[in-house]
């Protein structure tokens, strides 16, 4: 029986179409992180040659030879064939497309300006012309004087390669970010080193260059014969392995940002463009922010893999480090890096290096280990469309559950202990944890941490005096400022000057509620720490009823350098070897002088929310 299509089904299809169209338009629009073109040039005894360029300019088949010859080589190519796009230049035709940026440079001009002198080899090459910036790494194959051989000399020296230098050049927009320029130069240098090695080993570059030049001469002869202009680079692609590698590198940079090449089917060249990989909420994470965040990783953090173990192991090269394989197999979102190092039988420093490597390549992110006290909420940048691809993936991964209804539970901050139902079966509870991990991998949730900040309310007598008095100089305890919150940097309790305040021996002595523990040394240390505060802060703390207990006062004063809003609860627990209940009890006793807030951890927030 035929049933007419319901309006809801039509709306679903329309919504999916609109969503996909919006995604594709975002990719088509001008992207300053993508290269405009990749160009291979060489210089030798026969002059400067442009061996290959991609994307190559379109040549209309209906264009007559006379019109083609009369066209200025500096004119912008505004006519495009939108029917077939085998040259890989399928971009939206705006007033100034990527194709038009480089179409004004003929092959002869590019070969002249990009094939540098021998003195510039081994250095970064950067040239800006109008709206185009060329970045490369010229590489010397042999000294120019080595090919100056007499024509009458019958020795085998006549057969040596005539190529002196070459360069793989990427054309970028002139306003490209300096970090993108640096990354493109790095890729150019890596490809050049591989080509130089293969040239010295088996003259691979010379063979490929001869093939490219022969194809160019052949296409030029055909064009003069039949009068139909053709692109020689289109004919080079199926016959030249190096040309296909450069095309693959260009396509990968414009899409995923991950480049994996096997030069001459022998040397592997791996590269990733962090601007393409690390994107949150449609914005890319600057490499500088990523680097600073990786430097702030601590042993209490955890590594969350963004793909399955099987998929990650399949992507690894055959000669990868065994430690990397062992860490991936041992990694879990409920283990911190210190536990991961013990389970994988690796040094903690090596675990840090491998974790940073996986994060840089976009295979993992840094989180806090999952536990029932973790508080999560919906990310403000999460994709909450009903018919988004994420909703479809979630329904396939967890049948019987819908992503919007699951995200609705995190509209307000909620802990995992509140999220799960204690009456559910253990299998259902494990599935809920897998859902949370799945949403964290897609940056749909953010974690909130508890921070405490010392804020003593001023008394009525001090309100007028504080207006006239200058703020006192910040006193320092153990090399740490206690008056200026900005002087504290997160993650700094690992320095040597803090170990005098956070040693386990002091923690154990202060936690024992015995009369004998109130020794003169402990009193003197407490008085010294209180003396480092301002008079207002000292009186405000001593007026708290809990300050009458020497143990509570000593513990509070010992943790004062954490109460500046820069260290969350879990960090204090790790460094001071304390339980969560102890800290929360202490916060409650001194709540009149402490302001407790909940927000993201600055170290890992870069992986959850786009930077400001």
- The DSSP result for 451-518, as a single string, is EEEE-PPPPHHHHHHHHHSPPPPPPEETTEESS-GGG--TTGGGSGGGTTTS-HHHHHHHH---GGG-
Integer Cα distance of 230 and 304 in angstroms: 51
pLDDT at 163: 87
pLDDT at 278: 85
Radius of gyration of the chain (CA): 32
Integer Cα distance of 73 and 66 in angstroms: 14
Integer Cα distance of 309 and 331 in angstroms: 9
Summarised one tens digit per residue, pLDDT across range 400-448 is 889 999 999 999 999 998 887 777 777 788 888 899 999 999 989 999 9
The residue among 132, 206, 129 whose CA lies nearest residue 166 is 206
302, 334 contact by CB (below 8 A): yes
Integer Cα distance of 122 and 110 in angstroms: 20
- CA distances 211 to 25, 214, 271, Å, are 38, 5, 27
pLDDT at 529: 67
pLDDT at 335: 93
Integer Cα distance of 57 and 244 in angstroms: 17
| pLDDT < 70 positions in the chain | 1-30, 57-100, 103, 143-161, 281-282, 459-526, 529, 609-612
Integer Cα distance of 499 and 604 in angstroms: 25
253, 34 contact by CB (below 8 A): yes
pLDDT at 550: 86
pLDDT at 201: 92
Structure tokens at 102: 């480089």
pLDDT at 78: 42
* Helix (H/G/I), strand (E/B), else coil: 334: coil
Phi and psi angles of residue 280, each rounded to the nearest 5 degrees, phi first: -130, 125
pLDDT at 612: 53
pLDDT at 228: 74
pLDDT at 29: 37
Integer Cα distance of 432 and 447 in angstroms: 16
């Amino acid at each position: 029986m035929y049933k007419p299509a319901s309006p809801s089904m039509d709306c679903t299809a329309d919504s999916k179409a609109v969503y996909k169209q919006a995604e594709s338009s975002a990719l088509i629009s001008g992207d300053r992180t993508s290269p405009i073109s990749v160009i291979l040039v060489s210089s030798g005894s026969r002059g400067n040659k442009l061996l290959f360029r991609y994307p190559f300019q379109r040549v209309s088949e209906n264009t007559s030879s006379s019109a083609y010859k009369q066209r200025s080589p500096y004119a912008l190519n505004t006519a495009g064939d939108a029917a077939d796009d085998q040259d890989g230049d399928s971009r939206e035709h705006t007033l100034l497309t990527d194709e038009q940026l480089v179409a004004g440079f003929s092959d002869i001009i590019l070969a002249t300006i990009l094939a540098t002198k021998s003195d510039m080899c081994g250095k970064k090459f950067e040239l800006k012309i109008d709206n185009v910036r060329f970045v490369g790494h010229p590489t010397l194959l042999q000294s120019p004087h080595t090919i100056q051989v007499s024509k009458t000399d019958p020795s085998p020296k006549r057969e040596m390669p005539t190529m002196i230098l070459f360069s793989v050049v990427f054309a970028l927009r002139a306003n490209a970010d300096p970090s993108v320029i640096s990354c493109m130069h790095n890729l150019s240098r890596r490809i050049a080193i591989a080509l130089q090695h293969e040239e010295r080993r088996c003259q691979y570059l010379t063979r490929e260059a001869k093939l490219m030049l022969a194809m160019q001469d052949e296409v030029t002869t055909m064009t003069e014969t039949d009068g139909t202009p053709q692109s020689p680079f289109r004919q080079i692609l199926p016959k030249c392995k190096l040309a296909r590698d450069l095309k693959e590198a260009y396509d990968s940079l414009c899409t995923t940002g991950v480049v994996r090449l096997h030069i001459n089917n022998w040397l592997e060249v791996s590269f990733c463009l962090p601007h393409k990989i690390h994107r949150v909420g449609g914005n890319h994470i600057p490499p500088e922010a990523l680097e600073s965040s990786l430097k702030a990783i601590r042993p209490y953090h955890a590594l969350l893999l963004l793909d399955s173990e099987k998929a990650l192991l399949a992507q690894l090269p055959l000669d990868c480090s065994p430690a990397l394989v062992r860490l991936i197999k041992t990694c879990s979102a409920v283990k911190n890096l210190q536990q991961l190092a013990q389970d994988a039988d690796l040094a903690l420093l090596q675990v840090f290096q491998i974790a940073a490597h996986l994060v840089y390549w976009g295979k993992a992110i840094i989180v806090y280990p999952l536990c029932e006290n973790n508080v999560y909420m919906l990310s403000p940048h999460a994709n909450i469309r009903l018919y988004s691809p994420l909703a479809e993936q979630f329904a396939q991964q967890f049948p019987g559950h819908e992503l919007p209804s699951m995200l609705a539970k995190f509209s307000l901050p909620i802990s995992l202990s509140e999220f799960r139902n204690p009456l559910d079966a253990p299998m259902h509870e494990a599935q809920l944890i897998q859902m949370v991990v799945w949403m964290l991998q897609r940056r749909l949730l953010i974690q909130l941490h508890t921070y405490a900040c010392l804020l003593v309310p001023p008394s009525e007598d001090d309100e007028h005096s504080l207006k006239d008095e200058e703020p006192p100089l910040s006193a320092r305890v153990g090399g740490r400022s206690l008056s200026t919150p900005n002087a504290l940097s997160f993650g700094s309790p690992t320095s040597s000057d803090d170990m005098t305040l956070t040693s386990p021996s002091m923690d154990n002595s202060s936690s024992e509620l015995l009369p004998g523990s109130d020794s003169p040394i402990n009193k003197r240390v407490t008085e010294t720490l209180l003396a480092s505060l301002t008079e207002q802060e000292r009186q405000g703390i001593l007026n708290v009823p809990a300050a009458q207990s020497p143990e509570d006062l000593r513990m509070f004063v010992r943790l004062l350098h954490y109460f500046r809003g820069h260290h969350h609860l879990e960090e204090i627990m790790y460094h001071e070897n304390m339980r969560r209940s102890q800290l929360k009890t202490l916060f409650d006793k001194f709540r009149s002088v402490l302001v407790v807030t909940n927000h993201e951890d600055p170290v890992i927030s870069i992986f959850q929310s786009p930077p400001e």
